[in-house]
Structure 1
């Protein structure tokens, strides 16, 4: 691989990482779907939900994101310190993330939650595009605010039929 090809691939992977943050904050579920392979190994084992890693279809992952984030008035996912390792048509990357979530609440109820940690991602070049095949959300610091804000937000989401 030439140095130029390496740089192009690294830039394309960085676009996926930035796109992941933007799609969530913009609630652009079509854009989120475009970043995902047909199946993604999702690992939330150290995050709020504590779910063990599981392979989910891209539409199910998009729906999980929608159901989790749509009830917040605002979110802000800031990704930084991206490290990318390339190996042919596969890439692994890690990026630090600070994710802020706000939902309206009654007076005296904590109405926000901030998570600090990182995303550990694996991507594969499929059909000429880099797509996520693995997404781990790793919380590395105590919550700021309250993770109960997730339940407040979920109560505001209208289920899709």
Structure 2
């Protein structure tokens, strides 16, 4: 949905859904289209040492270090709260993110993470794009080694 079509809530929801859909489908061109050229990313609740400001392509390279090693993922985003600000949208949403790694000895190793996103979006050429992605983990369930093992698998391929 382009900016100006539907309510700001609907536009923000569509932009966020396109972001997670592209991530789970490994549609890197679609994922890139959902991001501004530069963004702030803060995943300290997942163990990152600090927040980072980096290019969209730099962020995608970081994300692929994990995602390319997983067999599947599923990010479900809901309960969006959209606050319009003078030149951007502040968007808060719940997320549950399932991560799947299959190995010969364990066909479905799972790691589920839940929390919320604090995002910011700006309109670029009629499309809402993310300029900030902050994830706040609340709980997790399953095998956390899925993540490190997926990173190792991606690096080896």
With structure 2 as the length reference, what TM-score do the two structures score? 0.89
Work out whether 1:77 is the aligned partner of 2:75. Answer: yes
Per-residue Cα deviation, 1:85-109 (whole angstroms, up to 9, x for no partner): 1124310011100000010235479
**In the alignment, which residue of structure 1 is the partner of 2:148?**
151
**In the alignment, which residue of structure 2 is the partner of 1:97?**
95
Alignment of 1:19-58 (within 5 A): 19-47=18-46, 49-58=47-56
Instruction: Tell me by how many angstroms 1:119 deviates.
Output: 1.1
CA spacing shift, 1:106–1:51, aligned 2, 3 Å: farther
CA RMSD of aligned residues (A): 2.2
CA spacing shift, 1:6–1:86, aligned 2, 3 Å: farther
**In the alignment, which residue of structure 1 is the partner of 2:123?**
125
Structure 2: distance between partners of 1:75 and 1:120: 21
Instruction: Tell me by how many angstroms 1:55 deviates.
Output: 0.1
Instruction: Tell me by how many angstroms 1:134 deviates.
Output: 0.4
**In the alignment, which residue of structure 2 is the partner of 1:68?**
66
With structure 1 as the length reference, what TM-score do the two structures score? 0.86
Gaps of 5+ in 2: none
State the aligned residue count.
154
Structure 1: distance between partners of 2:33 and 2:24: 15
Structure 2: distance between partners of 1:9 and 1:90: 11
Determine if contact 2:66/2:150 at 8 Å carries over to the other structure. yes
Name the SS for the 1:134 alignment partner.
strand
Higher strand share: 2
Structure 1: distance between partners of 2:134 and 2:99: 19
